[in-house]
Amino acid sequence: MTSYTVGIDIGGTTSVVGLVDKDGKIVRRKDIKTPGHPVASEFFNSLADIIEQFDELKSTSTVLNGIGVGAPNGNYYNGTIEFAPNLEWKGVVPVVELLQKRFPNTLIKLTNDANAAALGEMIYGNAKDEKYFILITLGTGVGSGIVVDGKLVYGHDGFAGEIGHTIYDPEGRQCGCGRKGCLETYASAGGLVKTAVELLSASTDHSSLRSIPTNEITSKQIGEAAQNGDIMALKAFDITAKILAIKLADSVAHTSPSAIYIFGGLANAGDVLMTPLKKYFEEYLLQIYKNKIKLTLSGLPANDAAILGSAALVY
């Protein structure tokens, strides 16, 4: 018998269903847009359809170990997504219950998408030897997974690790969560774009970004402009890095990790993000933490961490 596990990564923009073999290799992968399914049960039925169509699972000589799901505000204890600001379903979505209807005899587990990525980093990535680390995802939203003494912190209610919703400026940018000034409004892809647009409108200095209509600028374009030496794009990354560094220094003062891994779309910008981030991070760390925390990119290929981590949930 050949055994497989399904790992599902639900993102604000795209969701991915992956089929993982016993060696931790993703042998099948299928994307689906997350928005555009106002009824949650229809969305999860579409995911179930994808799983059922994997040829590997149709064979009588294969076993499905289980389905692991990573999703924004995914609750490990309840199996529900609750009040996720970046998803169109409001209130509580009973994810495990919905999938269980389609796979009645299969083990199904859910957690926060960033928690899943942290599990992936711990099992398959750079954090194999770290007992205390934080993984932070910079994408549509800003999520995090916190590992203490070799175990993911779920908290008393399953919702620990929401560093993206720590407050940088109580009078700052409006956040999708209803409050103001959350880290996410500055360090997400949309936050970087907002910072760049603010810089463009505050001066008439040259920038290659001026050739793009401001409502079409993407974080990827800002990253490319910065990599090409565009001063204003570099400045947008500098501001983003400084805010992220201040909030990560706060996180260090909670669990004192030996490493912080940066993951998600913004991480693709590479040095234009990481160079100022490392500088400001050391600057804002409390003395006792200086020069001993590794701040680095995730060790897993983009999207793999969340799928592998989600899959690892069922072990």
Interacting residues toward a second copy by CB under 8 A: 73, 82-83, 130-132, 146, 148-149, 151, 153-163, 165-167, 170, 177-179, 246, 249-251, 253-258, 284, 286-289, 292
Contact criterion met (CB below 8 Å) for 175 and 165: yes
Question: Minimum distance between the CB of residue 35 and a second copy, rounded to whole angstroms?
Answer: 20
- 174 CB contacts (<8 Å, ≥6 apart)? 180, 185
Q: Which is nearer to a second copy, 58 or 156 (CB)?
A: 156
Question: Minimum distance between the CB of residue 55 and a second copy, rounded to whole angstroms?
Answer: 39
Query: Cα–Cα distances in Å, from 239 out to 10, 53, 243, 244?
Result: 29, 45, 6, 9
Contact criterion met (CB below 8 Å) for 103 and 93: no
Token pair, residue 82, equals: 């609750």
Residue 194, amino acid: K
Query: Cα–Cα distances in Å, from 46 out to 32, 82, 99, 107, 121?
Result: 9, 20, 10, 19, 28
Question: Minimum distance between the CB of residue 117 and a second copy, rounded to whole angstroms?
Answer: 17
Q: Which is nearer to a second copy, 224 or 250 (CB)?
A: 250
Q: Which is nearer to a second copy, 82 or 224 (CB)?
A: 82
Question: Minimum distance between the CB of residue 252 and a second copy, rounded to whole angstroms?
Answer: 8
Question: Minimum distance between the CB of residue 313 and a second copy, rounded to whole angstroms?
Answer: 17
Task: Assign 200 to helix, strand or coil.
Answer: helix
Q: Which is nearer to a second copy, 195 or 207 (CB)?
A: 195
Q: Is 150 exposed, middle or buried (CB count within 10 Å of its CB: 0-12, 13-18, 19+)?
A: exposed
- 283 CB contacts (<8 Å, ≥6 apart)? 245
Question: Minimum distance between the CB of residue 173 and a second copy, rounded to whole angstroms?
Answer: 15
Q: Which is nearer to a second copy, 63 or 167 (CB)?
A: 167
Q: Which is nearer to a second copy, 55 or 149 (CB)?
A: 149
